[in-house]
Amino acid sequence: MLRIATVAMGLVLAGALAMAGDANNGNGGNNGNNGNGGQTVKRDAGLVAHYFKDPIEWDGNWKEGAKPTVDAINWTFREYKYSRIEPLVNHSFIRRGWFSVRWVGSIDLAPGNSGQGAGDGKVKGVVVPAEGVEVTFDLLCDDGARMYVDGEKVIDDWRPCAAEADPTAHRIAKVKLTPGPHKIVVEYFQGESLLNDDRDPAKLYWSCDALKIPKQVIPAAHFSHTEEDLKDYEPSIKPADAKTEKVDVNLITGPEKDKGGKK
Least confident among 72-81, 120-129, 164-173: 120-129
User: For residue 110, which of 93, 130, 96 has the smallest C-alpha distance?
Assistant: 130
* pTM of structure: 0.79
Query: What per-residue confidence (pLDDT) applies to 238?
Result: 92
Q: Are 49 and 101 in contact (CB under 8 A)?
A: yes
Percent of the chain with pLDDT over 70: 74
Enumerate domains of the chain plus CATH numbers.
2-38 (no CATH), 44-231 (2.60.120.1560)
| pLDDT confidence bin for 193, thresholds 50/70/90 | confident
Q: What is the mean pLDDT of residues 21-31?
A: 34
Q: Using CA atoms, how far apart are residues 192 and 180, in angstroms rounded to an integer?
A: 38
Q: What is the mean pLDDT of residues 121-139?
A: 83
Instruction: For residue 159, report the phi and psi dihedrals to the nearest 5 degrees.
Output: -150, 155
169 or 6, higher pLDDT:
169
